[in-house]
Every structure is written in C-alpha cells, then in structure tokens.
Structure 1
Amino acid sequence: MNKQSILALTLALAAALGTAAHADTVPATPSTPHQGAWGLDISTTSYHTRQWARDSLNQDNPGLGIEYHCTANSGFAAGFYKNSYSRESFYATATYIPLHITLPAGFSVAAGGLVGAISGYTRAEAPDRPLMAAALLEIRSEQGYGVNLIGVPNAAQSAGFIGLQLVVPLA
C-alpha cells in the first residue's frame, strides 16, 4: 500500500467519523456483536510520523495474527509481521477498547489501546522493548470484517507510526 492509499484510507476514516457525530454513542455491553469473536489480522503497511523514517524504513509490513474479543471492551491478539527494519517481529498483546460508536450502515468504531510484548527490535529502535503499548482504533462491519489502526507515538530517537491491519472474522 502506498502513501496515497494510506491518505485515502485516512480521509475515508475521517469522513466516517464525521458522520458519526450524528450517530449514537453505544456503551459497551454484552450485546456488542463482536464479543466472543475470533478474527484473522492481516498486517499490511505502516506510515511513519518522522520524515527520516518514511525515507529510510520499510513501509510494507506483511504479516498474520489472530485476535479474540473476550468481552465488548477487552481481548487478546498475537501474531507476526515483517517490521520496518525488515526483520520478523512476533507480538502478544492484551487490548482494551472502552469507547464504542455505532456508524450508519451497520459499521462500528471502537477506540482504546493495547499493551504487550514484541520481538525484532533493538534497544535503539524501541527503547522499551520487549514491552510495547499503542493506541488502537477498530472499525468493523456487522459481519466482523474491518480494519485495525495501531498508533505508536514518537519516543526519543525512534519513529512513531500508524499501522494498518485488515481483519477477517473466523467464527
């Protein structure tokens, strides 16, 4: 995915969230359709927030993972991907997404964060390795198809990024 595709996705997301200003905010309840759901996470690309990183690091980050929503607000994810330094990274995370918005046409947005462990980075590249934390935005259809946007801020000399995963329901 190139920079123009990421920009188009970001604009589409912004438009959808703008539409959500008139949508109902839904508190997380056991009736949230994705509770107890398994999903296949397909890692695709990243957009780094520092220019040097966009110029010198790998923006194509293919990988696979699996996620499970234990409750409407919490879950787990694990998987692997080719990181921005062209090395394999393995991750295991716990997710917490307390903010839920229902969008038109059966779409939903959930926001929160994730914490966990990750491999494949040096101390200079990720100062807190193997620990990791990130913001998480999940966009889903009624059937469970969707995207995960994972945001990591700049820290010291490391470059933050926004990562994109495609999600396919498994059950």
Structure 2
Amino acid sequence: MIVLIVDGYNIIGAWEELKRLKDSDLDQARNILIEKMAEYQSYRGCRVIVVFDAYYVRGVETKQKSYKVEVIFTKENETADECIEKLIKGVKNVKTQVYVATSDYAEQRTIFAQGALRKSARELQIEMNNIEKDIRTDVENYKKVHANSKIPISEDILEVFEKWRRGNK
C-alpha cells in the first residue's frame, strides 16, 4: 500500500494558483487542495492524508474525511511537521511505502531518516497536472466509444450522481 502525507500549508504556499488564493480566501485554497488530493487518491489508488497545522486554525486537533481524503488540523502548539512525523511512525511498515509531499528541506531530512520518501511541491504539482490531463483524455475517449444515454437525465441528477461517485452525500 502507498500512503501520501501532504503538508497542506507548504503545498498551498508553493503552488501559484493556491498561493494567490490563500491571501484572499485561505479556506477556499484548502478546499481546492483537498479536492485535488481526492482526484490524486482516486486516480492513483493510494491513501492520502492532508495535514494542516494550527498556525491558521487555532483549537484542538481535529480529524475529518473530505472526499474520502483524511484531513488533519493539528492541535494548538503542534506543527504539521511534528504531526507528519507521528503519522509516518504510525503507518510505516513492511507493506506500506510512505511519501511526504513537502518542500521543507529540514522536514525532508527527518522524513528520510524515518524511512519515508518525499515528493517536493513541484513534483506533486507536475504529477497532479499529468493526472488531470490523463483524466481529460480518458473522458474524451470514453465519450467517443460510448453512445450517449437514450434516457435524458437532467444536470441536477447528474450532479447528484457525481457527488455519490466522489463519496459526498
């Protein structure tokens, strides 16, 4: 099994699209990152955990699932790096390969010491862009091969089906 742990704010700060959005709407930047990681998880068939530290969101540690992606907001006074290190220890075993998406050099050294591998923010973005391109190509190929439904379905119903497919109700 492959597990990808994402340092959320590090990635937001590194991807231009999300960096620009962060200044005006941090919540939206987080949501877009989570949506992209849901696409990544679905396409790659791996487990994805996104970690946000308490720097921007004060309070107790919370864990939630969004689009089947595990999202962790660390407790106050705990950094994302500390949480990621604990997660690596918890999920790393003989059958599991752990990757951590971060461009933080100090964190990368710690990650390697624990037996995990890293993906830089740039590498993850390139991989994500390739996934999105592959999905568009797959959809176009599917449309060419399969005829449209003989039963007309409204956009509202198609939207409900899409939410079900992504794990949202």
TM-score (norm 1): 0.25
Q: Which has the larger radius of gyration?
A: 2
TM-score (norm 2): 0.25
Q: Which has the higher strand share?
A: 1
Q: Which has the higher helix share?
A: 2
